[in-house]
Every structure is written in C-alpha cells, then in structure tokens.
Amino acid sequence: MSGTAKTHYEVIVIGAGVCGIYQIKRLVDLGIDAVVLEGAAGLGGTWYSNRYPGARFDSESYTYGYSFSRELLEEWHWKERFSGQPENLRYLNHVADKFDLRRHMQFDSKVTAAHYDEEENLWRVSIADGRELTCRFMIMGLGLLSIPTLPRLEGMDKFKGRSFHTFYWPHEGVELAGKKVAVIGTGATAIQVIAEIADKVGQLTVFQRRPNWSAPLNNGPISQAEMADIRARYDEIFATCARTPGGFEHEPDRRGFWEVSREERVKLWDHLYDQPGFAIWLRNFREIFTDEVANAEFSDYIADRIRRRVKDPATAEKLIPRDHGFGVQRVPMETRYFEVYNRDNVNLVDLSETPLVSVTESGLRTTVADYDFDIIVYATGFDAITGAYDHIDIRGVGGETLRDKWNDGPSTYLGMMVHGFPNMLMPAGPQSGSASTNYPRGIETGVNWCTDFLEYLRSHGHERADASAMAERRWTDHVTKMYAIMLMRKAKSWFTGYNSNVPGHEAGRVRYFVYNGGSPKYVATINEVAAKGYEGIELSGGRMVSAARTAMPQDVRI
Ligand SMILES: Cc1cc2nc3c(=O)[nH]c(=O)nc-3n(C[C@H](O)[C@H](O)[C@H](O)COP(=O)(O)OP(=O)(O)OC[C@H]3O[C@@H](n4cnc5c(N)ncnc54)[C@H](O)[C@@H]3O)c2cc1C
C-alpha cells in the first residue's frame, strides 16, 4: 500500500504489532482519518519477526488474545496453553482480516524521523523510502522489544557459515540436521531455542555469559472441551487479569512468607513448580520481590531443582545464577531446557571463565579455544523499552530530540506522553502499565485511554496536547521511587536498562523503564487523570498554546 498519494492524516500510528492493530481498529471505528506505518513487510510485530524454533508465549494464550470483541473470543480456538509463534501470527492476521484493517496499513514503511512543526501544529514524519507524511497526532506502537542487539565482537563479518540474530531467523526455515551450531546467550529467547533445537542439530555449543533463572512452562494442548470452558469463563478470566498486579490469571499467595513454616513454603513451591506458566513466579509469596532473605531461600529451592535435573554437578553449578535472585527480572520459562545439558551433543561454554574474543572465518574464539561452526545463532536480546524510540530522529518543541532528553533514561507522564513532544501518544510506552505485565492487557488499556483522549480533544475543540513539565516530573519520580523497594533494582536486566551491547547502557546507571505499581493501580490513576479533564496535560486550540495552564496533577493519587 505504500506509494499512495495521500500525504496528510489526522493520526499516524507507527507499528503494526498487537498495539498498532488494536489502535487502528479503534480509530477506524470512530471514523478518524488514520494510517499505520510499519517497517516490516507484514503485520504482527514480535510475532512477525521472531520465527526461531521454540518461540512461544509465556502468557496463557487465552489471556494474551484481545478482549475487545466477543465475536473474536467466541470463534478463536487457542490450540495450546502457551501458543507458538506461527499460531500467534495467524491469530493477529485473522484479527486484521476480520476487521478489515489491512487496508489502513502501509508495510515496508520504516519511519526514520518525526519532527514537530510548531507553526502548523503537526508532525512531519519521514519514511525510509523518501516519503514525508504529516499528521496532527502521532501514536507510537513501536514495541518495547523490537530492536535486536548483537554483541560487539571483532570479526563478525568474517564468518563463512550462516549467522543471524534470533529476531531475524530466516522465514523459510534453516536446515539444522547434522550441523554444528553455536547459540550465544542464555536469556529468554535462548532458553526457548536451545531446548527446541538440541535434538535436531549435529552438535550444539551454548555460550553463556550469565545464567538466568528459569522454571518449567508446563505447556499443553487445549482441547475443544477445554476451549469451550475457557470461552464460557472469559469474563471471569479478564476480570482476574484486571485485578492482579501483572495482568495475568496468577494471583500472589496472600499469606506472609514468614507467617508460614518452611515446610509449608516448600509444599507451595513443589506445587507451583508443576503448574503452568508464571505461577511459580506470580502465585508465590510477595516477599520474594522485596525481601532479600525470602528471595534467597526461594532461589536456593530453584537451584536444587536445577541440580536434580542436570546430571553433571559442575554443569549444574554453572547454570545456577549467583548475581541475582529468582524473579527479580522477567522469568524465562522453559521446556526441558536443563535436560539439554545431559545430552552428548551439547556443550556449555562458560564465558565468565573464558570470554569470547572474536568471530573467525570458521567459528568462534574464546580466550582458550577455537570452535568451528556451520551456524552461529545470536540470541542476544534487544535494545529494550526505549530502543525503538532512539532509532527514530524524534524532535519536539524547539527541535529538542527525544534521544537527548532520554539519554539518562526515559521521563514521561503516565508512560503515555512526554513534555515538549505535543500530540505524541504512547499507548504502551516506557513507564506505562504494559512493560512489566501481560502486554496485551496493558496495551488494550493504553490504547483505550489514548483513543478516549483523542475523542475528548475532538469534542472540546482542542488540537494540541502536551504533558506539563511538572506532571512529567511527578510521574517519573513516582516510577523511580517504586524501584526503591523492589529487589529488581539491583538486577542487570532490561527492567533497569542494562544491556552491555548498547553503548551507554552498560552497568552503572539504572534506567527507570517500567511502572511497578501493578495494573489495578495504574488503571485507577490514568482513569482519574481522565476524569479530572486530563489533569497534568496542557490543552489548547489550534496553532497557539493557550497561556492558561491546566491544573497540575497535585490531586491525582499516584
Ligand atoms: C520472543 C518473544 C516472546 C514474547 N512473549 C510474550 C508473552 O508471552 N507475553 C507477553 O505479554 N509479552 C510477550 N512478549 C512481549 C511482546 O513484545 C508483546 O507481547 C507484544 O507483542 C508487544 O506488541 P507491540 O505492538 O507493542 O510491539 P511489537 O510487537 O514489537 O510491534 C512493534 C512494531 O513496530 C514496528 N516499528 C518499530 N519501529 C518502527 C519504525 N521506526 N517504523 C515503522 N515501524 C516500526 C516494528 O517493526 C513492529 O512491527 C514477547 C516478546 C518476544 C520478543
């Protein structure tokens, strides 16, 4: 659809993932003149790109799907409790087709720049193919895990075999039988891909810098009868998701960690270890997130589980994290991951002992050995949360760049607006309710809020909206303060903005990326802001900003 002659839209949505798809649905339903610009060749975002073997949900499928259409809920059969990438992509395409959304999307349309034009009160959006579009409102559906990162290794272009980041796993598939394969990384993606390919390759060598805590996903099929039961319970399921901090079906154990005996704690953990999904993390005692001693006791329990599953004691010890406790970062879920290391064709290289030095023509070199490979898989994660924003030259009032403004970490109002960047909305932005939760639940909330806001502006004759500097400061302070009680503040993870492969994001500076107050509190806060006439946001008519400032958000309970 690129190449259409139309150059101005009321709203431009950037990104056609879970967020962009729902956002355009809401706009089209309201008759708002809008378009989605998507850099990839198809829709689906995360589920369009990550086609590596083993890519799947860690959210229960039926809690991940959209909740906005009863008809959609009634007709879709999730085949697995934790559905895989091909099915997830089919689902998102089905949604787009069902609601005839594809005709509002332009693919292969990567946005390279977006400059706010103060004179005209509009955004000038540049696309990689040379086009420039304008819009009054710009909605960012860029994704928080959409910019893959590679390690900074010498010689990466010299390798004669095939190499790719998991995000770019070839769409036509890769012949693995008999091949010598390296996987670099042991994060969430690596844990999925390693377990899936270990018995399909000739030799597998895993290069691990830091191990991650992980626990069984306990996936399984969903029969017709089970799906019928889920359909009948959808209202209840979504009500539970709305009530829980993470937006999942899992509710924390309300008993105090220290109120029950050690035997009772272990009994709960034995039970949770066999439960599906994030139960082990989110149905646990709340103290594991905040109390160092409680967390250490539980981490020891999981460490013992690893020791029981890995035959070679030395390998087991290498797979047990020492630098952080269980659950202080989003927990990768696994399916027979630890048993992989009992296989004769699998080798674990501990990079904390023998770091990687370079990529060679035939493979990888560590400080002590050379390894030959046919394929190198970089499972090295993402420039998370703010990466996709940093990749666009976004300039607001007075030419200020968002990249500079966020150099030390993001600052936002409600995770949805940024002072000095009027009419730019982020339904699932940094510091919003999405990043630390079951994403689509947060995304639907964010999209609904942004859409209602646009309706409000339209009905009140406002054409310009900018979060006040004070509102932004208060929100960002609030998000920052919440880290203080969480053990996650100490983890080297994407919750704290750590990524050794992104310049400036190496260890040392904590970035306050996610809102930790839980979904119910977040939703209550943003609804209150709306109810108070979008308190904290400076609203005005057309080209001139009104001198009268709206009230500061003193009264909003955050
Ligand atoms: C392997 C994997 C598994 C996951 N599993 C889960 C899970 O089980 N549960 C869960 O809650 N979350 C999960 N997530 C997080 C996942 O990203 C979200 O669930 C969800 O897909 C986010 O949707 P989104 O639309 O916000 O972003 P995305 O799906 O990332 O979509 C963003 C889109 O914006 C486009 N874009 C970005 N920049 C530009 C630009 N400059 N110009 C044009 N287009 C642009 C991208 O190409 C992309 O299509 C997973 C993530 C990964 C990587």
Task: Say how many Å lie between the CA of residue 425 and the centre of ligand 1.
Answer: 17
Q: Residue 80 forms beta bridges with which residues?
A: 221
> What would the pLDDT profile of 74-88 be if each residue is shown by its tens digit?
999 999 999 999 999
More confident residue, 213 or 483: 213
Task: Say how many Å lie between the CA of residue 149 and the centre of ligand 1.
Answer: 15
143 lines ligand 1 (CB under 6 A): yes
> What would the pLDDT profile of 294-338 be if each residue is shown by its tens digit?
999 999 999 999 999 999 999 999 999 999 999 988 899 999 999
Residue found under tokens 């010299």: 158
- The conformational region for residue 297 under phi > 0 = left, psi -120 to 50 = alpha, else beta, is alpha
More confident residue, 461 or 504: 461
Q: What percent of the chain has pLDDT over 90?
A: 85
* 551: pLDDT strictly greater than 70: no
pLDDT at 550: 40
CB 148 within 8 A of CB 167: yes
Report the nearest atom of ligand 1 relative to the CA of 20. 25
pLDDT at 542: 55
Give the residue, by CA position, lying nearest to ligand 1 atom 34.
15
Global pTM reads 0.94
Q: What is the mean pLDDT of the chain?
A: 93
φ/ψ (deg, to 5) at 206: -105, 125
Give the residue ranges of DSSP H helices in 319-468.
Answer: 387-390, 402-405, 439-459
114 lines ligand 1 (CB under 6 A): no
* 220: pLDDT strictly greater than 50: yes
Query: What number is the average pLDDT over the span 345-372?
Result: 97
State the pLDDT confidence band at 393, using cuts at 50, 70 and 90.
very high
Task: Say how many Å lie between the CA of residue 500 and the centre of ligand 1.
Answer: 21
Query: What number is the average pLDDT over the span 174-193?
Result: 97
Task: Say how many Å lie between the CA of residue 55 and the centre of ligand 1.
Answer: 13
State the pLDDT confidence band at 371, using cuts at 50, 70 and 90.
very high
Report the nearest atom of ligand 1 relative to the CA of 37. 43
Query: What number is the average pLDDT over the span 417-431?
Result: 97
Report the nearest atom of ligand 1 relative to the CA of 143. 27
Q: Residue 77: CB partners within 8 Å, gap ≥ 6?
A: 222, 224, 227
State the pLDDT confidence band at 255, using cuts at 50, 70 and 90.
very high
3-state secondary structure of 375: strand
Query: What number is the average pLDDT over the span 501-512?
Result: 78
471 lines ligand 1 (CB under 6 A): no
Task: Say how many Å lie between the CA of residue 16 and the centre of ligand 1.
Answer: 9
pLDDT at 2: 47
Q: Residue 236: CB partners within 8 Å, gap ≥ 6?
A: none
Q: Residue 75: CB partners within 8 Å, gap ≥ 6?
A: none
Report the nearest atom of ligand 1 relative to the CA of 391. 41
Report the nearest atom of ligand 1 relative to the CA of 192. 1
Q: Residue 146: CB partners within 8 Å, gap ≥ 6?
A: 15, 17, 45, 46, 49, 382, 387, 388
- Return the top range by mean pLDDT from 29-38, 495-504, 534-543: 29-38
Report the nearest atom of ligand 1 relative to the CA of 55. 1
pLDDT at 552: 37
What does the DSSP assignment read for 212-239?
---EE----B--HHHHHHHHHTHHHHHH
Give the residue, by CA position, lying nearest to ligand 1 atom 8.
57
Q: What percent of the chain has pLDDT over 70?
A: 96
* 269: pLDDT strictly greater than 90: yes
Task: Say how many Å lie between the CA of residue 64 and the centre of ligand 1.
Answer: 13
DSSP structural state of residue 550: P
pLDDT at 492: 74
**Opening angle at CA 104, ends 101 and 105, nearest 5:** 95
Give the residue, by CA position, lying nearest to ligand 1 atom 4.
57
pLDDT at 549: 37
pLDDT at 553: 43
State the pLDDT confidence band at 26, using cuts at 50, 70 and 90.
very high
| Pair of tokens at residue 175 | 């012949």
